[in-house]
Structure 1
Amino acid sequence: MRSLNLDQLRTLVAIADLGNFSAAARALHLAQPTVSLHISELESRLGAQLVVRGSRQVAPTAAGAALIERARHLLRDADEAIDTVKRHAKGHAGRVRLGTSTGVIVHLLPQVLKALEQAHAGIDVEVSILGSNDTMARLAAGTLDIGLVALPQSPVRDLVVTHWRNDPMRAFVPPRWKAPKVATPKWLAAQPLIFNDATTRMYRLTMEWFAAAGQAPRARIELNYTEAMKSLVAAGYGAAILPLEDSSVPAGHDQLQVIPLRPALTRSLGVAHRALSSLDGATRIVLGALGQFRQH
């Protein structure tokens, strides 16, 4: 037996509610022969009489009343399913997968998520802690929707990367060290250092800064977690070169020395995603929220 037809069930419910075929046809904007056809096809498909046709009123049979009760639930579920899909399509609801580094998650992303929650509470942002290389790879593979990545990035087919913000780099120095007012490559190269992992863009940016001054320091330890690096600096283990982000010095480490670099160094971040025409509404809404915090 073929599956039940929701339009035919809707017609049956309308007849039960309004009492006759003519009223149901008007309410559903159907021709009366179409209403009659819906009921006859339902009865034929189910092998049971569903309504008793009177001169003025139509009443459901016992079988018809049982079907009408179930039909009301089915139609309500169908309407809710359609509404859910429409909300997703319009960006009023949905799940968006975003990848970025720990520093961005701790210091920059919360303000974006707060604004998004206030304006679009139905959108859930699933955040993954990833380096820029992994983020770009997952975007290309379709397992992420948006990435906040270090710039510059090599072009990747079907991905769009636009500038989001610049953050000045600073030397984070233990509180008890005797440090200069500005940190040069030569001075830092003579200190014990904590670097980002060698696979990261931050490591490359830092090493290029040293190399331009003829320095090639080695790190005491390499990490890929900004807050852990700051904790080691606070403990006196070494100095680190990190971006200065909002509320950059973690609680309990407010005595860290944060020193400008000479020459200056800047970390740039971009927003990466697939072409806008291929994105769902929720992803476009999240991109819009990120755009509100873009540095122009």
Structure 2
Amino acid sequence: MHFLPSLPIFWLVAEEGSFSAAAKKLDLTQPTVSFHIDHLEKEFGCPLFVRTAKGVTLTVYGKALLEKTHSLQTILDETYSHIRQLVAGDAGHITIGASTIPAEYILPEILAGFLAQYPDVRISLQTGDSSVILRKFQAGSLPLAIIGFQPEVHHYPLWRDDLVLVAHPDFPLPHLIDGQLTVTDIVHYPLILREAASGTRQTLLSVLSRGGVSWENLKIIMETSGNESVKRAVMGQAGISFISRWAVVRELAEGSLRNIPVRNIKIDRTFYALWNPPLWPTCLENLWQALCLTSPFQCSPEAERSASSGT
């Protein structure tokens, strides 16, 4: 297979019908081109070109070589183009993971805009609760992840969120005073919560505990792994729930749910991005930069790389 480096020169000589024209296109000397053709002819033990005063034409052996290696030429050209696209970030496959709120309510619009800008990029979005996504990231199966609690690994704050108490507009709330409940009033109402590993639930129970309400005192009537099922249950007047504001923007605007303020507490949190440099392929770094543009926090991938390298 020592002849492979000489094949591109052979292809161009065959196309141009001239050693000198091929040499000019390749920015090589004519003796260099002749050397490669002589090398091929010695390798195969046959003449590949007929030399004439007007140029060269393929022999029957040359035609056979051109025919058999045509597909190889196409493969090499496509490979070169694909690698260049990967390096430029114009193509590639990205796998990212995100907890349910970012995956369902924040990322779709961002990813749609990104894919419109980079139509040859493909994205695989894996979703799950924050703990599951964190484990996948730590196992090395996710180069970029977004979760709803602050982990003990390298992370970057990306988006803010707050949990709001919602109920059906007709759901009875006899403890309501001046349109508000107290944190201790919550124990009197049936509560619908996300599953135990959910970042939403972990944030909620931590805040309620600081307000003097233990989870054992809550009237939890339903646990679910999805925000849509939480909303459906609340709209069916099964109970009340704390849920990400991102998840109920439309319902609050339409009036199918109402926000119940809880006096003297604010349940907010941050979604964190986790990544391990370097961000390869380049399209993954391009996506990271696109995410940073949507963040209220100062986000500089270059600064992060410098910090992580100690420079």
TM-score by length of 1: 0.89
Aligned to 2:9: 11
TM-score by length of 2: 0.85
CA contact (8 A) 1:249 1:256 kept: no
What do the CA deviations read for 1:266-289 (whole angstroms, capped 9, x no partner)? 1211111112x3432111111111
Q: 1:261 to 1:168 in 2, by over 3 A?
A: farther
Aligned to 1:167: 161
Q: Does 1:280 align with 2:281?
A: yes
Q: Return the match for 2:118 from 95, 117, 120.
A: 120
* Matches of 1:285 and 1:197, distance apart in 2: 33
Q: 1:218 to 1:42 in 2, by over 3 A?
A: farther
CA contact (8 A) 1:234 1:253 kept: no
CA contact (8 A) 1:197 1:223 kept: yes
Aligned to 1:269: 271
What do the CA deviations read for 1:38-84 (whole angstroms, capped 9, x no partner)? 11221232233211223452221112012223434422321221111
Aligned to 2:146: 148
Aligned to 1:223: 224
One-letter amino acid of the counterpart of residue 172, structure 1: V
Aligned to 1:30: 28
* Matches of 1:247 and 1:213, distance apart in 2: 24
Q: Return the match for 2:38 from 37, 40, 48.
A: 40
Instruction: Give how far 1:251 is off.
Output: 10
What do the CA deviations read for 1:171-218 (whole angstroms, capped 9, x no partner)? 111332133322332111111111111122222211112212221224
Aligned to 1:132: 130
Q: 1:95 to 1:17 in 2, by over 3 A?
A: closer
* Matches of 2:123 and 2:262, distance apart in 1: 35
* Matches of 2:120 and 2:182, distance apart in 1: 48
* Matches of 1:184 and 1:95, distance apart in 2: 49
CA contact (8 A) 1:191 1:238 kept: yes
CA contact (8 A) 1:164 1:294 kept: yes
Question: Which runs of 5 or more structure 2 residues have no equivalent in the other structure?
Answer: 298-311
CA contact (8 A) 1:115 1:289 kept: no
CA contact (8 A) 1:192 1:237 kept: yes
Instruction: Name the % identity.
Output: 22
* Matches of 1:121 and 1:221, distance apart in 2: 42
1:154-233 → structure 2 map (5 Å cutoff): 154-155=152-153, 160-179=154-173, 180=176, 181-216=179-214, 217-233=218-234
* Matches of 1:183 and 1:283, distance apart in 2: 45
* Matches of 1:204 and 1:27, distance apart in 2: 65
Q: Residue 96 of structure 1: SS of its match in structure 2?
A: strand
Q: 1:134 to 1:246 in 2, by over 3 A?
A: closer
Q: 1:68 to 1:257 in 2, by over 3 A?
A: same
Q: Does 1:79 align with 2:77?
A: yes
Question: Which runs of 5 or more structure 1 residues have no equivalent in the other structure?
Answer: none
Which deviates the most, 67-76 or 143-152? 67-76
Which deviates the most, 54-63 or 121-130? 54-63
Aligned to 1:234: 235
Q: Which structure has more helix as a fraction of its residues? A: 2
* Matches of 1:47 and 1:253, distance apart in 2: 81
In the alignment of these two chains, the number of paired residues is 289
* Matches of 1:250 and 1:80, distance apart in 2: 49
Q: 1:70 to 1:162 in 2, by over 3 A?
A: same
CA contact (8 A) 1:169 1:260 kept: no
